[in-house]
Amino acid sequence: MYKYTEFDEAFVRTRTAQFREQVARRISGALTEDEFKPLRLMNGLYLQLHAYMLRVAIPYGTISSAQMRQLAMIADRWDKGYGHFTTRQNIQFNWPLLNDVPDILDALADVGMHAIQTSGNCVRNVTADHFAGAAADEIADPRPVAELLRQWSTDHPEFQFLPRKFKIAITGSPNDRAVTRAHDIGLRMIERDGQPGFEVTMGGGLGRTPMLGRVVRDFLPRADLLPYVEAILSVYNAQGRRDNKYKARIKITLFEMGLEAMRDQVEARFVEIRPEWTGEDQAALAHITADFAPPVFRDGPFGAYEDARASDPVFRAWADTNLEVHRRADHAIITVSLKAHGETPGDASSDQMRVLADLAAQYGYDELRISHEQNVILPHVHRADLPAVHAALRAAGLATANVGLISDIIACPGMDYCALATARSIPVAQAIAERFAETERDIGGLKVKISGCINACGHHHVGHIGILGLEKGGVESYQITLGGDATETAAIGERTGPGFAYDAIVPAIERVVGAYLAQRDSSDETFVEAYRRLGAAPFKAALYDADQANAA
């Protein structure tokens, strides 16, 4: 893992000291809320529906046991004993008092963490494949590149006030687990003629105008990455609209300019600035890469795993859904579900955080990951240790065997917390999870994603079943989209038709799932495969009466 240098330490401490003074001036009344707002946003502090919310960065989702324990301490000391992991691999604390926030930032700095650039119109937390460095299908670990991008973009003088927020994701595997095509810039690590490089996509994004990123370079040599990313941001900074925040993202700039015209400007800017890059970035990347050397893996038999799998059906069910293939045959990747049936997706109590930290320290080479799907990953666990880890997770309420199933739902905070939300999302997710708790294994792989407003923080556009909560005429209404996909075969889901009332959305999902079960070729055909084969018609017929289905 990357370790803070003296520069990093001094930078974060200085920012915290500055913010402490700004908070004092706000509390004294020397700053109005309007004057304070841009200052707090630069430090990840939002004013939500009921209280302030502090969003803490977890770069590319990688976190140590000491950092996780510190988050647990913060949750107990300054919040309500829990934290909420987000789709940008961050954690949010929903109840901090304003005068406590500088102390929280100091506590974060003690373990090499911060909340810088988790909000505002700048480059946000760079996200990456949560299985990075462990996945069997990986070409290269994307985290050193993500860290290089983080260092380059932090407080970059040219890009602190972009037209809108800017999101970058990177994957080192052909199987895209980082949703790269839904990002402003998506980077896929590839090789061509033995040379490492990237496929670069541009202009992806969800929100009120969902678009998938388009390929702007099918192969970019590794040494050209930072100047090329800078060229894209320079063109966007100059051409992006600032007259309408809803048309300010790069996807709109790309749409209005056209791919060829925008690509021409990016390439021209790249040619202009490329000579300024004389190799310092590659030297920095080499230094960073050393921090991400794989651990010294333990060898040994794993008969205990085989025995548990043969004798314990609960363990076997968990292993079938929550384990992924590691690049070493004697290790496994564990996805710890934060989606216990009926609970809030993405929430972890301080006690659960400490259990996760202990397991990482004892069995996981002191490393944890946060996934964009709001789960926690133990990326390297020897198979002989899996029964012990499962037992500890089970005792902590963290052994729900549902990863990739219908109850493994991404859901934004919705109207329970968010000032922008127009509908509830958490209670809908809880109700769906409880409704299908007994049958979800028979249903098979199915991604449900729920957003409580048009901003789409719950990624509903790329859910196999997407649910968008809106307010219409003073009541909540839920639209359904089908056929979305967040992987390397990314697709935006298609809206089925009129929305459903709050008390009708779960029965509507029941009818969609029922239509799938009735028409799938076999239990091996997943929901999204069946949707692609059948089209929308049978699902619309299940959702609406004949007249509505035809109109939809």
Which domain CATH number covers 151? 3.30.413.10
Asked whether residue 41 is domain-assigned, the answer is yes
Residues 138 and 282 both lie in one domain: yes
Number of domains into which the chain is organized: 4
How large is the average pLDDT for residues 124-145?
97
From CA 552, how far away is CA 480, in angstroms rounded? Answer: 12
Residues 163 and 276 both lie in one domain: yes
**pLDDT tens per residue across span 435-490:** 999 999 999 999 999 999 999 999 999 999 999 999 988 999 999 999 999 999 99
Residues 102 and 36 both lie in one domain: yes
**pLDDT tens per residue across span 354-375:** 999 999 999 999 999 999 999 9
How much is the pLDDT for 483? 98
Is residue 55's pLDDT more than 70? yes
Is residue 550's pLDDT more than 60? no
**pLDDT tens per residue across span 176-189:** 999 999 999 999 99
Owner of token pair 């003296």: 6
Residues 84 and 11 both lie in one domain: yes
Is residue 49's pLDDT more than 90? no
Residues 281 and 329 both lie in one domain: no
Q: In what order do the strands lie in the sheet with 168-171?
A: 127-128, 168-171, 185-192, 195-202, 214-221
How large is the average pLDDT for residues 73-83?
98
Tokens at 318, concatenated: 């968990």
Residues 150 and 253 both lie in one domain: yes
Average pLDDT, the chain: 96
Is residue 409's pLDDT more than 80? yes
Buried b (16+ CB within 10 A) or exposed e, 516-552: beeebeeeeebbbbbbeeeebebbbbbbbeeeebeeb
How large is the average pLDDT for residues 23-34?
97
Asked whether residue 422 is domain-assigned, the answer is yes
From CA 442, how far away is CA 11, in angstroms rounded? Answer: 52
Judged by DSSP in three states, 438 sits in: coil
How large is the average pLDDT for residues 126-152?
97
Asked whether residue 123 is domain-assigned, the answer is no
**pLDDT tens per residue across span 188-223:** 999 999 999 999 999 999 999 999 999 999 999 999
Q: What are phi and psi of 265, to 5 degrees?
A: -70, -40
How much is the pLDDT for 192? 95
From CA 492, how far away is CA 482, in angstroms rounded? Answer: 8
Is residue 2's pLDDT more than 70? yes
Positions of E strands within 39-176:
45-47, 52-56, 62-63, 82-85, 91-93, 127-128, 168-171
Percentage with pLDDT > 70 across the chain:
99
Asked whether residue 122 is domain-assigned, the answer is no
How much is the pLDDT for 119? 92
How much is the pLDDT for 472? 87
Asked whether residue 401 is domain-assigned, the answer is no
**pLDDT tens per residue across span 424-435:** 999 999 999 999
Asked whether residue 475 is domain-assigned, the answer is yes
Q: What is the pTM of this model?
A: 0.95
Cα dihedral 431→436→440→442 (10° resolution): -160
- CATH code, 96: 3.90.480.20
Question: Which residues have C-beta within 8 Å of that of residue 546, sequence separation ≥ 6?
Answer: none
Q: Using 50, 70 and 90 to split pLDDT, how confident is the model at 417? A: confident
How large is the average pLDDT for residues 520-524?
96
DSSP one-letter code for 166: B
| Helices 426-435 & 505-519 angle (0-180, nearest 10) | 40
**pLDDT tens per residue across span 250-265:** 999 999 999 999 999 9
Nearest to 509 by CA among 488, 533, 532, 527: 527
Residues 206 and 282 both lie in one domain: yes
Asked whether residue 124 is domain-assigned, the answer is no
Measured between its terminal Cα atoms, the distance across the chain in Å is: 50
From CA 11, how far away is CA 39, in angstroms rounded? Answer: 16
Residues 142 and 269 both lie in one domain: yes
Percentage with pLDDT > 90 across the chain:
95
Residues 76 and 149 both lie in one domain: no
**Domain range spanning residue 443?**
410-543
Residues 29 and 55 both lie in one domain: yes
How much is the pLDDT for 547? 56
As a three-state string, the secondary structure of 9-30 is HHHHHHHHHHHHHHHHHHHHCC
From CA 164, how far away is CA 50, in angstroms rounded? Answer: 25
- C-alpha distance from residue 449 to each of 220, 267, 486 (Å): 33, 36, 11
Residues 188 and 65 both lie in one domain: no
Residues 42 and 189 both lie in one domain: no
How much is the pLDDT for 160? 92
Asked whether residue 116 is domain-assigned, the answer is no
Is residue 541's pLDDT more than 70? yes
Q: What are phi and psi of 308, to 5 degrees?
A: -65, -40
Last residue in a domain, options 290, 316, 348: 290
